[in-house]
Structure 1
Amino acid sequence: MRKSDTGVAVQRIRVLGRPTFGGLVIALMLWLPALTPTLIPRMPATQAGINAVALAMGYGIGTLIGLCLRLVLLRNGRSVARGVRRIGWIVLGLGWLSGVLLGAVLWLTWQNDQRRLMGMETVDGLDAVLMVSVSVLGGVMLVVIGRLIAKAVLAVTRLSRRLLPSVPAAPPIGLVVFFLGTVLVGWGGWLGITAFANATFGSANASTDEGTVQPGSASVSGSSESLVPWGTLGRWGRNFVASATTAELGTFHDADAELSEPVRVYVGLDSAGSASERAELAVRELDRAGGFDREVLVVWVPTGTGWVIPEAADALELLHRGDTAIVATQYSFLPSLLAVFMEPGREIESASALYSAVHSHWSDLPRDDRPKLLLFGKSLGTVGVEAPFVGADASESIANLTSGTQGALIVGAKRTNPIHSQLTRERDQGSSVWQPVIDGGLAVRFLSRDPDQPALSQDWPLPRIVYLQHPSDPVPLWGIDVLWRSPEWMDQPRGFDVSEAASWYPVVSGVHAAADLIFQLDTPPGFGHVYATEYVEGWASVCPPDGWTDADTARLEEFLYSEPPSEEQP
């Protein structure tokens, strides 16, 4: 190919000016599918952002394809006739006009169908118009940014050619210099984000919410008798120990019921220097508070910030009349979405150390005097729950769990969790990926609000492992493989809360997955990643008190959830 051909082909790259034909074609081909629903209903602003990204990505791909075709034509001394180009532009303009109008109508229908199913407020025609307008404008802005980057690459390449005219590799050297600069800028940006996150959430961790006061009960950490100072617990630790369900116990249970004061043990990041030291302190504190004398003892792995889900803790304590102990150690003050990238593995280290320390002390107790040892984790916390028990396959992992504990409640597990992956991969034939059945539900069961639960045996021996998992929860269902194949949750039959209009598209589905994971909590309880109203059923399934019935479960749920909680995860 002649050097002049390349120059002619790339001279159309302008920051402002007429768009490329190929770019607009592929942009439309990605913009329309981006409107389809997936697992989480979207607000107009969210959908506009998704479509803007899809438009820009499509434009970039289409422009690159068009450039390659243009180079081929130039090499062969050919070009597209002016009349053909004119007709093509007219057809493309009509295509975009009809696509935008049709897309707005379809998006409105799809979103409202999904929203009505989940009991959410619907969107209207004005929302659709604003969404379309903002998505196109946002896409154009991203395209302009892309053109600026392309111009910068060309400028560096030309500069390297002028500075090194006798070096054949001058253009590649220019590209290398450009991308090295981009990497350095990105690395600097990452350091800045990390510093900002640590400063912001570190400050939040050091704060105390209004109305949260140091407890006086010896049964919880942070009290005057505690081995763990109140000031070291962190924001969510202080909230947790200060809100034990002592008052609610007398309200829910009969006057003649035998009640106990719940034990809540929490060790913050500032309470000890390392994960192992925090675990050892937690065991000493648990022993001091009488946690090993309770009927039920739960090793609890919090979310990234150190948050212990109040709805889940309250459900456990009310279920067992307060004869419970919860022990947790903080491993981060960053939200889970940041902690998983900025502090990878911290949840595993912390949870493994805590479980090992608690289990060691628990094993030394006389067998008849031991509490029932349970596990709990949600989202990022589930990684830590599973970590000490991973075996070569699902059967070995289940055996490890049932021999090392008396049960576990695992909520919204990450798809990449080793045991969750084994259970999903090795599920019984015919069961779904969103509600897998393993060995007929002998030890492990997946529960959700799906009205069509799999028919499993009523004989469910202890110990029991329960996964709460919604068909519309993106955390256990989206994975990196969506970039090259359709996810299994799109197979038939689908979950009761999953739209039939959801489909897999190259590139677009990757954007959909990222958006669903970011907005995983934008649903009412019972959908998405929000499990706030299902902890009673979860605990009653894992470890029911003697004589507990389904009617008791319904009564406790009504008591706790007369006003549906939001479970706004910090």
Structure 2
Amino acid sequence: MFSVLPLLAGLLMVAAALTPSLIPRDWIMQGVLGGVSMTAGYLATQFLLAIWRTLEIPVLPRRWATIAHAILAIPVMAVLVRCVALADQWQNAIRERMGMPELEAANTTKMLLLTAAIFVALFLLGRAVQGLFDLLRTRLARHIPVTSANVLGLLLAGLIVVTLTRDGVVQWAFGIADSSYAAAQHLTDADAEPPSEGWRSGGPGSLIDWDLMGKPGRDFVSGGPRAPAIAAFTGRPALEPLRIYVGLAQDKDPETRARIALEEMIRTGAFERRVLVLASPTGTGWMDPASYDALEYMHEGNVATVALQYSYLQSPLALIFETESGLDQTTAIMRLVYDHWRSLPADARPRLYLHGISLGAWSSMYALNPFQMMNEPVSGAFWVGPPFPSTLWRQANEARVPGSPLILPQVDQGEVIRYASQFAPPDRSGKPWGRLRILFLQHASDPIVFYDPASLWRAPEWMREPTAPDVSPQLSFTPIVTQLQLAVDMLVSTSTPPGFGHIYDASEYIDGWVSVSAPQGWSAEDTARLKAKCGKGGLIGCDNG
């Protein structure tokens, strides 16, 4: 049933798939990765053998081929056995670096069984596609030459598979995901009481419908520190932080949602605050409280933050299926807010900052037009976990000082652009900022940032650099497999504790905002106190009691 040489190649791919990558994998994800890798190795070898036979290159006689396969199987099985024996050790080493518990004892057995099951399922699916091709070319060969029938049959079979996959399975899965995430928004939730204050989004006189804001928006607007808590922390009078959020359900048109947001900002006095943040949420519309809470403490609550939802999907799905949604929405609100901000007297404007996390960082970067702002730039930008396709981030990487690593580049002397990580604070050089401050916060273990499409055939540049503290030194490159590993890493990138992978810790946000926004009268002691207040945990924000 199985061809020997492709099967051996598939087993080698399984062995390579067991090596560590950026994010630790449990038996389920490792089993999926192993099964897909084995299938990829099997199919690639079958394809090469088909080309070999088509070119009519001589092959070994059956007897000698059997002997060659037996000899070749010895090193292949030796490599596989070694990798299986070390698999848990490799994964636990990464887990230890990230403060995660070790894998259970039965992890390897369950992983191998799942790998085999997925390979068999995909193999049978492949045989079904082969059967479709054989059926088509046989029918066509009755009417046209055999060569033409083979070519046309292959094209038709490919077209049928692509159509069924793209317009059938993928669209069905996308519809299910979109509906489930939309349901998770709890639109028109009767248990969610609207605010009683008129200055809050969704409150009396607000232009924004509370019920259509969605759970992420309601949590953001109703959460965060209040003025008494801020005043108690700083020892100085504080204002109530202003948070404005427009849900995706408010209106189907991004331009209309942007105009509603601007009118709400004007109504509530957002342009009269000391600091104005134009924030772009993640794919689901979530706003990490650890970031916004910290900023409001730093500036005595004299902060206004505006955000507009553009999707219901998790960021990896929104990145694939709704690429333009976030870009269109952020561009629309940026244009309106910047034009209004620029129309104000220079000495009466708030400091304007751009901020985004994950997919929000990409859309926020996209909305920044440096040519438009060359004469009157914003005060700065703080982008966290920028996804790998982000054009501005990639351009900054290319402008780095020769010899500086891709995982933590240096651009000129750091007057305009800086990079930070959990191990490297933004002000580590001690050199002053320029007029515009742009900060990228990224983890070397974040696959959303460091996924490389070209890893299908070559090692990513960062893999050829010295290993960061949160990355396994056993990480290595294997064609095809490395790309599959990084793809799986992206799917589980938020399974890590805060401070690793795609989860950013409150202390990192604090260091970033202190550097970018330069709060008045702020000291290193204040930073330490705020870190103690916010604690570890980028998903819960600060203690606002």
Trace 1:293-442 onto structure 2 (pairs within 5 A): 293-390=272-369, 400=374, 403-442=376-415
SS, match of residue 11 in structure 2: helix
Alignment correspondent of 2:419: 446
Alignment correspondent of 1:558: 532
SS, match of residue 290 in structure 2: helix
Alignment correspondent of 2:485: 512
Q: 1:160 aligns with which of 128, 132, 140?
A: 140
Alignment correspondent of 2:103: 123
CA offsets per residue over residues 250-282 of structure 1, 9 Å max, x none?
48515x420110111111223244222222211
The answer to whether 1:237 aligns with 2:217 is yes
Read off the aligned partner of 1:191 and give its amino acid letter: Q
Q: Is the 8 A contact 1:222 1:229 kept in 2?
A: yes
Q: Is the 8 A contact 2:289 2:539 kept in 1?
A: no
Distance 1:232 1:101, change over 3 A: same
TM-score, normalised via structure 2 length: 0.91
Residues of 1 paired with 2:128 and 2:55: CA distance?
25
Read off the aligned partner of 1:260 and give its amino acid letter: L
Distance 1:371 1:134, change over 3 A: same
Q: 1:41 aligns with which of 17, 20, 24?
A: 24
Read off the aligned partner of 1:499 and give its amino acid letter: S
The answer to whether 1:476 aligns with 2:449 is yes
Alignment correspondent of 1:80: 61
Q: 1:536 aligns with which of 507, 510, 513?
A: 510
Residues of 2 paired with 1:563 and 1:336: CA distance?
20
CA offsets per residue over residues 286-330 of structure 1, 9 Å max, x none?
121121121111001112222222221111112212111001112
Q: Is the 8 A contact 2:5 2:69 kept in 1?
A: no
Q: Is the 8 A contact 1:532 1:566 kept in 2?
A: no
Moved more, 407-416 or 186-195: 186-195
SS, match of residue 531 in structure 1: coil
Measure how far apart 1:98 and its partner are: 3.1
Q: Is the 8 A contact 1:37 1:111 kept in 2?
A: yes
Alignment gaps of 5+ in structure 2: none
SS, match of residue 533 in structure 2: helix
Measure how far apart 1:455 and its partner are: 5.6
Residues of 2 paired with 1:176 and 1:423: CA distance?
42
Moved more, 324-333 or 128-137: 128-137
Measure how far apart 1:66 and its partner are: 3.6
Distance 1:565 1:237, change over 3 A: closer
Moved more, 499-508 or 273-282: 273-282
Distance 1:95 1:355, change over 3 A: same
Read off the aligned partner of 1:473 and give its amino acid letter: D
CA offsets per residue over residues 440-461 of structure 1, 9 Å max, x none?
2112111111259896233234
Q: 2:131 aligns with which of 108, 126, 151?
A: 151
> Bigger relative contact order, structure 1 or 2, given CA contacts below 8 A and separation 6+?
2
Q: Is the 8 A contact 2:6 2:45 kept in 1?
A: yes
Q: Is the 8 A contact 2:289 2:540 kept in 1?
A: no
Residues of 2 paired with 1:250 and 1:170: CA distance?
76
Number of residue-to-residue matches in the alignment: 539
Q: 1:464 aligns with which of 420, 437, 446?
A: 437
The answer to whether 1:261 aligns with 2:240 is yes
Q: Is the 8 A contact 2:408 2:419 kept in 1?
A: yes
Alignment correspondent of 1:500: 473
SS, match of residue 456 in structure 1: coil
Alignment gaps of 5+ in structure 1: 1-16
SS, match of residue 237 in structure 2: coil
Read off the aligned partner of 1:59 and give its amino acid letter: Y
TM-score, normalised via structure 1 length: 0.88
Measure how far apart 1:427 and its partner are: 0.3
Alignment correspondent of 2:463: 490
Q: 1:291 aligns with which of 270, 277, 280?
A: 270
Q: Is the 8 A contact 1:219 1:264 kept in 2?
A: no
Q: 1:219 aligns with which of 195, 199, 207?
A: 199
Residues of 1 paired with 2:231 and 2:162: CA distance?
60
Trace 1:178-257 onto structure 2 (pairs within 5 A): 178-186=157-165, 187-207=167-187, 212-246=192-226, 249-250=229-230, 253-254=233-234, 256-257=235-236
SS, match of residue 448 in structure 2: coil
Distance 1:248 1:31, change over 3 A: farther
Distance 1:427 1:127, change over 3 A: same
Distance 1:458 1:168, change over 3 A: closer
Q: Is the 8 A contact 2:12 2:79 kept in 1?
A: no
Read off the aligned partner of 2:19 and give its amino acid letter: T
Alignment correspondent of 1:52: 35
CA offsets per residue over residues 474-499 of structure 1, 9 Å max, x none?
12211212122211111222222111
SS, match of residue 266 in structure 1: strand
Measure how far apart 1:503 and its partner are: 1.5
Measure how far apart 1:505 and its partner are: 1.3
Distance 1:103 1:208, change over 3 A: farther
Read off the aligned partner of 2:277 and give its amino acid letter: V
Read off the aligned partner of 1:521 and give its amino acid letter: T
SS, match of residue 446 in structure 1: strand
Alignment correspondent of 1:275: 254
Measure how far apart 1:517 and its partner are: 1.4
Residues of 2 paired with 1:539 and 1:212: CA distance?
31
